Amino acid sequence: MKFTTPATTNPIDRLKVVGKPTDRIDGPLKTTGTAPYAYEQHKAAPDAAYGYVVGAAIAKGRIAAIDTAAAKAAPGVLAVVTHENAGKLGKGDKNTVRLLAGPEVQHYHQAVAVIVAETFEQARAAAALLKVEYAKQAGVYDLEAAKNAAKKPDEKDKPDTKVGSFDSAYASAPVKFDGTYTTPDQSHAMMEPHASIAVWNGDKLTLYTSNQMINWGKKDLAKTLGIPEQNVRLVSPYVGGGFGGKLFLRAEALMAALGARAAGRPVKVTLQRAIMINNTTHRPATIQRIRIGATREGRITAIAHESWSGDQPGGQPETAVMQTRLLYAGQHRMTRMRLATLDLPEGNSMRAPGEAPGLMALEIAIDEMAEKLKMDPVTFRIVNDTTVDPEKPGRKFSQRRFVDCMRMGAERFGWNKRNPVPGQVRDGRWLVGIGVASAFRNNIVTPSAARVRLGRDGRITVETDMTDIGTGSYTIIAQTAAEMMGVPLERVDVRLGDSAYPVSSGSGGQWGGNSSTAGVYAACVKLREAVAKKLGLDPAGADFADGQVRAGGKAVALQDAARDAEVVGEDKMEYGDLDKKFQQSTFGAHFVEVGVDAATGEIRVRRMLAVCAAGRILNPKSARSQVIGAMTMGVGAALMEDLVVDKRIGFFVNHDLAGYEVPVHADIPHQEVVFLDETDPISSPMKAKGVGELGICGVAAAVANAIYNATGVRVRDYPVTLDKLLPKLPPLRSA
């Protein structure tokens, strides 16, 4: 189905099931521990052996020699696989580095071997007996030191944009701001580690894995192993969090496949937490320079955003300037990205790549400029709103309710009570401040297919390789099918995460919910047509409701269409050139109140509010859950998350959940989420947009701005930790 114009008569608009705050249908399985995650597919491979991955002990160099004799002779060992006996391996299209090192080592903890044994303990013990000799080479691990050697990335990354003449407009602006900010490397730190079980049946491989993008993983695994795609099946019905870290094929999947082939039996592998952070991908650190010129009345006339990040050779930049191209008006504009070659683990997508770290800098800069202008920060943002793409003035936004988000948030949060002079509000020993930041994330739509069956028992079954990474895909897909086919939610079964099903959008970039349900919508349209014809009714005028099909004055039970055999509808939703005609984005506003201990500098977040404009909200309950989770990650980015680089050795020092700090329950106060009542008919027949990543965008800056309002201390280098606050806190005075 081609979606190029807004749907007119649209069954989804009935809103009997879609749009309702519905409990997660997979909830009972997850809360009782019976949902089979990748490492728990015991029925699929009851005789699985255990694989243990050995990571490289250097960050850059070569493997000079590997002695496997002692490991092979250890009790219970079935196989030892290294680059010497793995056979010829390729590299998947989505992988920047090879997943098995040898002889070259590209980063610390890159997999160098997998030990397969009868038990996990035997595999781990044997791994300690593996002897690897390395020829170490000097590497580059410091982004600041590599900044001057950074280069312009490939044009496919759209590294530079220019509108008007920034330099002259900035030079002549009455009020100017020029600031540099840094964001650190960050880890996805999801609860479920990377895990896979590999089962070979002759030359065919089935991989039970934890992966967000089934079709990508299938293609890359086939390419890496050098086997036909049709010989590979990926199964991933439940994913215990990903945040972008499971978008791509990772080492545990390949090592499970290689180990199973060598051992001649199924093998299960999980990346032990201690090597996971250095072995897999992370959000790259950035250095960002922002310059803004404005009139004395607060109109931006010139804005520039430059960003530097690093990655392995052949990698991509962290696209931290993307939101600046679209968020605020300004006639003269410039953005620029530069990429340094670093020998750290691969940098890649993490929740809201680009906008999340970009807004960490931009939204502090906007506050700093507002202070220079002596303007209220909310007012300054509203004054510089735009209804068209600032870089392509002929292209309008499909929907843009940014100002509504700002105004509603300010009213609900009590922004008018904010003291604009920093460090003036006390609550006992606490210095209290509130901050604001804009939220912005582009709305991406991707092709997505599904198959929908009407069974002889009257049940509807949906099949698509879409994944549920804790986001509620099972539920919104079931809601879509129930609405389209006119049946109660409990009569819908949803089957996800299997490459044997039609190829969906997958989960990533906040495109999954809108795109996958649009694919189910298209398949349901096909099923409705098939059912109507089988019942002898006019498909164009048929109404599906309450388990019946009505047309031409007749009403027939839906189930009657499948009396002899099931009826099947399958289709794919595609979008034509809509993205060229309209700019599709989501908008929001984040408001945060913090308390800072006047003596110790301890920071406590006291209140949080997010107001979001993201099209039709398909399930307000699960959407709210997504947003508060994203807000929590934003607090982590503001206050604690920092993969510390050992710049001598070239690895992340705090590479486990003991050393890499993330927010816990005690760190997070009550969070309020408001969704504007809107639909976007340009986006899809669901009239929805993504929301799961919008919730993190801007949060860290809102926290940092609140800290400044509380203390008068402006921190431009994340995270905002005690050592950056204490020396500059105002003198103690009696409460």
- Give the separation between CA 543 and CA 528, rounded to whole angstroms: 9
- Please indicate, yes or no, whether residues 400 and 270 belong to a single structural domain of this protein: no
Q: Which of 544, 574, 604 is the last residue of a domain?
A: 574
| pLDDT over 70 percentage in the chain | 99
Q: Which residues are catalytic?
A: 693
For the chain, what is the largest distance between any 2 Cα atoms, rounded to a whole number of angstroms? 84
Average pLDDT over residues 376-389: 97
Residue 716 has pLDDT above 60, yes or no: yes
Q: Has residue 161 been placed in a domain?
A: no
Residue by residue, what is the 3-state secondary structure of 398-445? CCCCHHHHHHHHHHHHCHHHCCCCCCCCEECCEEEEEEEEEEEEECCC
* CA torsion through residues 723, 724, 727, 732, sign: negative
Domain count, the chain: 3
Indicate if 257 and 132 belong to the same structural domain. yes
d(CA 150, CA 283): 18
Q: CA 186, 188, 194: angle at the middle one, nearest 5?
A: 135
- For residue 201, give the H/E element and its range: strand 195-201
- Boundary-marking domain end, from 574, 606, 627: 574
Give how far Cα 329 sits from Cα of 248, 298, 304, 360, 380, Å: 36, 11, 12, 19, 11
Q: Which residues pair with 431 in a beta bridge?
A: 426, 596
Q: In Å, how far are 299, 439, 714 from 330, measured between CA atoms?
A: 8, 18, 26
**Residues 116, 228 within the same domain:** yes
- Crossing angle of helices 512-534 and 473-485, in 10° steps, is 30
pTM for this entry: 0.97
pLDDT in tens, 548-595: 999 989 999 999 999 999 999 999 999 988 878 899 999 999 999 999
> Based on the domain organization, do 321 and 403 belong to the same domain?
yes
Asked whether residue 2 is assigned to any structural domain, the reply reads no
Same domain assignment for residues 519 and 637: no
The pLDDT value given to residue 77: 98
The amino acid that residue 289 corresponds to is: R
- Same domain? For 322 and 470 the reply is no
Q: Does residue 177 form part of some domain?
A: no
pLDDT of residue 708: 98
How far apart are the C-alpha atoms of 700 and 662, rounded to whole Å?
13
pLDDT average, residue stretch 672-676: 98
CA distance 231 to 136: 38
Is 266 part of a structural domain of the chain? yes
Same-domain status, 417 and 467: no
Chain centroid offset of residue 201 CA: 34
Residues 203-221, mean pLDDT to the nearest whole number: 98
* Nearest-angstrom CA–CA distance, 265 and 4: 49
> Could you tell me how far CA 229 lies from the centroid of its own chain?
26
Q: Which amino acid is at 550?
A: R
Does 319 share its domain with 274?
no
Give the Å distances, CA to CA, from 621 to 618, 672, 683: 9, 12, 21
pLDDT of residue 3: 78
Flag whether 40 is in a domain: no
Judge whether residue 465 has pLDDT over 80.
Answer: yes
Give pLDDT, residue 580. Answer: 82
How many Å apart are CA 182 and CA 335, to the nearest integer? 17
The answer to whether position 437 is within a domain reads yes
| Residues 433 and 509 both lie in one domain | no
Task: Give me the mean pLDDT over the 462-490 stretch.
Answer: 98
Cis peptide before 719 (omega within 30 of 0): yes
Q: What is the 3-state secondary structure (H, E, C) of 597-658?
A: ECCCCCEEEEEEEEEEECEECCCHHHHHHHHHHHHHHHHHHHHCCCCCEECCCCEECCCCCC
How high is the pLDDT of residue 579? 78
Domain assignment present for residue 364? The answer is yes
Show the CA angle centred on residue 215, arms to residues 212 and 220, nearest 5°.
Answer: 100
Q: Quick check: 488 and 459 in contact, CB under 8 A?
A: no
Q: What is the pLDDT of residues 640-657, one digit of tens each?
A: 999 999 999 999 999 999
Is the bond leading into 103 cis (omega within 30 degrees of zero)?
Answer: yes
Banded pLDDT at 502 (limits 50, 70, 90) = very high
Write the CB contacts of 395 (distance below 8 Å, at least 6 apart in sequence): 388, 389, 580, 581, 582, 583
Question: pLDDT tens, 119-143?
Answer: 999 999 999 999 999 999 999 999 9
User: What pLDDT score does 4 carry?
Assistant: 63
Closest by Cα among 490, 470, 478, 483 to 450: 478
Residues 682-718 as b or e (16 or more Cβ within 10 Å = b): bbbbbbbbbbbbbbbbbbbbbbbbbbbbbbbbbbbeb
Contact 205, 257 (CB under 8 A): yes
- Is 587 found in the same domain as 568? no
Task: Provide the residue type at 102 as one letter.
Answer: G
DSSP helix/strand/coil, 353: coil
Which of 257, 279, 301 is the endpoint of a domain?
279
Distance CA 47, CA 154 (A): 47
- Which token pair is 581? 């005609």
pLDDT at 516 over 60: yes
pLDDT at 7 over 60: no
- Residue 329: both structure tokens together: 């008006």
The rounded distance, in Å, linking the Cα atoms of 418 and 164 is 37
Query: Is residue 399 domain-resident?
Result: yes
Q: What is the pLDDT at residue 2? A: 81
Q: Return the percentage of the chain with pLDDT > 90, whole number.
A: 95
Q: Residue 735 above 80 pLDDT?
A: no
Range of the domain at 537: 11-33+446-574
The CATH number linked to 542 is: 3.30.365.10
8 pLDDT above the threshold of 60: no
Residues 110 and 205 reside in one and the same domain:
yes
Residues 600 and 703 in one domain: yes
